Amino acid sequence: MKSVGRSIPRVDAVAKVKGAAKYVDDHFVPGMLHAKVFRSAIANGWVKRIHVDKAKALPGVVAVVTYDDVPGHTFPTAGHPYSKDPSHQDVADRNLLTRRVRLVGDEIAAVVAVDELTAQKALSLIEVEYEAYEPLLTAEAALQPGAPEIHAGTGNVLGRGGYELGDLAQALAESDRVFSDSFSTQMVAHCAMENYSAYAYMEENGRIVVVSSTQIPHICRRIVGQALGIPWGRVRVIKPYIGGGFGGKQDAVVEPLVAFLTSVVHGRPVKLEFSREESFIASRVRHPIQFKIKTGVRNDGTVLARELEVLSINGAYASHGQSIANNAGVKYRQLYMQQAIKCKTMSVYTNMPAAGAMRGYGIPQVMFALESHMDDVARELAIDPVEFRLKNIVVVGYQDPITGVKVLSNSLAECLQKGREMIRWEEKKADATRREGTKRRGLGVACFTYASGTHPVGLEVAGARIVMNEDGSVQLQVGATEIGQGSDTVFTQMVAETIGIPVSMVHILSEQDTDISPVDLGSYASRQTYITGMAVRKAAEEIKAKVLDYAWGMTDIPASAMDIVDGWLVYSHNGEKITPLSEVALDAHTDVVHCQPFTADVSNNARVNAFAYGCTFVEVEVDLLTGKVEVLELHNVHDSGKIINPQLAAGQVHGGVSMGLGYALYEQMLFDPKSGKPLIDNLLDYKLMTALDTPDIGAHFVEPYEPTGPYGNKALGEPPAITPAPAIRNAVLDATGVAFNDLPLTPQRLIARFQAEGLIAKEG
3-state helix, strand, coil in the chain (%, to 5): 30, 25, 45
Residue 295 · residue 215 · CB < 8 Å: no
AA letter at 159: G
Residue 444 · residue 731 · CB < 8 Å: yes
Same domain (yes/no): 210, 328: no
Convert the pLDDT of each residue in 734-764 to its tens digit.
Answer: 999 999 999 999 999 999 999 999 999 987 6
Backbone angles phi, psi at 191, to 5 degrees: 55, 40
**pLDDT at residue number 137:** 98
Same domain (yes/no): 641, 654: yes
**pLDDT at residue number 522:** 95
Beta-carbon-side half-sphere exposure of residue 353 (alpha carbons within 13 Å): 31
Convert the pLDDT of each residue in 628-649 to its tens digit.
Answer: 999 999 999 999 999 999 999 9
Convert the pLDDT of each residue in 17-75 to its tens digit.
Answer: 999 999 999 998 899 999 999 999 999 999 999 999 999 999 999 999 999 999 999 99
Over residues 310-324, the mean pLDDT reads 97
Over residues 535-539, the mean pLDDT reads 98
Q: Is 534 exposed, middle or buried (0-12, 13-18, 19+ CB in 10 A)?
A: buried
Instruction: Judge whether 763 lies within some domain.
Output: no
Cα 444 to chain centroid, rounded: 25
The CATH number linked to 324 is 3.30.365.10
Convert the pLDDT of each residue in 646-667 to its tens digit.
Answer: 999 999 999 999 999 999 999 9
Cβ-based neighbours of 578, under 8 Å, separated by 6 or more = 551, 555, 557, 562, 568, 569, 570, 571
Same domain (yes/no): 595, 535: yes
Query: Which of the 8 DSSP states describes residue 686?
Result: S
Convert the pLDDT of each residue in 184-232 to its tens digit.
Answer: 999 999 999 999 999 999 999 999 999 999 999 999 999 999 999 999 9
Residue 443 · residue 734 · CB < 8 Å: yes
Same domain (yes/no): 520, 642: no
Tell me which residue of 407, 482, 487, 498 sits closest to 451, measured CA to CA.
407
Instruction: Judge whether 503 lies within some domain.
Output: yes
Tell me which residue of 728, 624, 741, 748 sits closest to 687, measured CA to CA.
748
Convert the pLDDT of each residue in 113-161 to its tens digit.
Answer: 999 999 999 999 999 999 999 999 999 999 999 999 999 999 999 999 9
**pLDDT at residue number 28:** 86
Strands 474-478 and 697-702: unpaired
Same domain (yes/no): 318, 210: no
CA distances from 294 to 421, 529, 743 (A): 31, 36, 20
Residue 19 · residue 89 · CB < 8 Å: no
**Last residue of a domain, which of 587, 605, 623?**
605
Instruction: Judge whether 595 lies within some domain.
Output: yes
Q: Is the pLDDT of residue 358 over 70?
A: yes
CA–CA separation, 28 and 501 (whole Å): 37
Q: Is the pLDDT of residue 1 over 80?
A: no
High-pLDDT (> 70) share of the chain, %: 100
Verify cis geometry, omega within 30 degrees of 0, for the bond prior to 385. no
Same domain (yes/no): 214, 98: yes
Instruction: Judge whether 5 lies within some domain.
Output: no
Instruction: Judge whether 52 lies within some domain.
Output: yes
Instruction: Judge whether 143 lies within some domain.
Output: no
Instruction: Judge whether 138 lies within some domain.
Output: no
CA–CA separation, 76 and 74 (whole Å): 7
The CATH number linked to 64 is 3.90.1170.50
Can you give the pTM of this predicted structure?
0.97
**pLDDT at residue number 762:** 85
Same domain (yes/no): 594, 716: no
Over residues 485-495, the mean pLDDT reads 97
Same domain (yes/no): 600, 617: no
**Last residue of a domain, which of 244, 273, 302?**
273
Convert the pLDDT of each residue in 424-449 to its tens digit.
Answer: 999 999 999 999 999 999 999 999 99
Cα 704 to chain centroid, rounded: 24
Same domain (yes/no): 222, 264: yes
Beta-carbon-side half-sphere exposure of residue 667 (alpha carbons within 13 Å): 25
CA–CA separation, 311 and 725 (whole Å): 19
3-class secondary structure, 301: coil
**pLDDT at residue number 764:** 60
Same domain (yes/no): 574, 713: no
Instruction: Judge whether 298 lies within some domain.
Output: yes
Q: Can you give the residue range of the structural domain that contains 46?
A: 32-133+196-273
Residue 474, phi-psi category: left (phi > 0), alpha (psi -120 to 50), beta (remainder): beta
Residue 714 · residue 530 · CB < 8 Å: yes
**Last residue of a domain, which of 588, 605, 622?**
605
Q: In what order do the strands lie in the sheet with 611-623?
A: 439-451, 611-623, 629-639, 697-702
Same domain (yes/no): 49, 114: yes
Over residues 556-580, the mean pLDDT reads 98
How wide is the angle at C-alpha 740 spanned by C-alphas 737 and 745, nearest 5°? Answer: 115
CA–CA separation, 712 and 715 (whole Å): 11
Domains in the chain, number? 3
How wide is the angle at C-alpha 60 spanned by C-alphas 55 and 61, nearest 5°? Answer: 40
Please name every residue paired with 605 in a beta bridge, in sequence order, or none if there are none.
461
Query: Which of the 8 DSSP states describes residue 87?
Result: G
Q: Is the pLDDT of residue 298 over 70?
A: yes
Same domain (yes/no): 99, 128: yes
Tell me which residue of 716, 707, 643, 649 sits closest to 409, measured CA to CA.
707
Tell me which residue of 192, 186, 200, 178 sits closest to 256, measured CA to CA.
200
